[in-house]
Amino acid sequence: GAGVSQSPSNKVTEKGKDVELRCDPISGHTALYWYRQRLGQGLEFLIYFQGNSAPDKSGLPSDRFSAERTGESVSTLTIQRTQQEDSAVYLCASSLVTAGNTIYFGEGSWLTVV
């Protein structure tokens, strides 16, 4: 597609449920990033994928968070047993090779855990 596409754009879920967030990067972009932004706070790095290399998972806040990416295409971020503190906007971004290239952000998935 023309830009980074994320779905769902909004998700309200009950505490304890699992959620999956999807990111479709720009075609040809080998680097894909997930970030989180809680209300009123800055951006937090979650995970980085680069081609077929092992992902950098150093930003995942707990083992309830996981992400997968199939090749150089779609990525899913899964949050298991959601907690209220998981409420945030989850932003996906992609770039051509590395973060030394222009980065393109999706519109984000707004997650509310009630």
Partner 1 sequence: KNEVEQSPQNLTAQEGEFITINCSYSVGISALHWLQQHPGGGIVSLFMLSSGKKKHGRLIATINIQEKHSSLHITASHPRDSAVYICALISSGSARQLTFGSGTQLTVLP
69-73 long-range contacts (CB < 8 A, ≥24 apart) are 69/32, 72/25, 72/28, 72/29, 72/30, 73/24, 73/25
For the chain, the first-to-last Cα distance in angstroms comes to 33
Task: Answer yes or no whether residue 59 interacts with partner 1 by CB under 8 A.
Answer: yes
Q: Which of 73, 78, 83, 98 binds partner 1 (CB under 8 A)?
A: 98
Q: To the nearest whole angstrom, how small is the minimum distance from the Cβ of residue 18 to partner 1?
A: 23
The reply on whether position 101 binds partner 1 by CB under 8 A is yes
Is 43 an interacting residue with respect to partner 1 (CB under 8 A)? Answer: yes
25, 30, 50, 65: residue in contact with partner 1 (rule CB under 8 A): 50
**Shorter beta-carbon distance to partner 1: residue 81 or 101:** 101
CA–CA separation, 15 and 37 (whole Å): 19
Tell the residue number behind the tokens 């596409």, with chain if given: 5
Which residues of the shown chain bind partner 1 in the complex (CB under 8 A)? Answer: 31, 33, 37, 42-43, 45, 48, 50, 56, 58-59, 89, 91, 93, 97-105, 107-108, 110
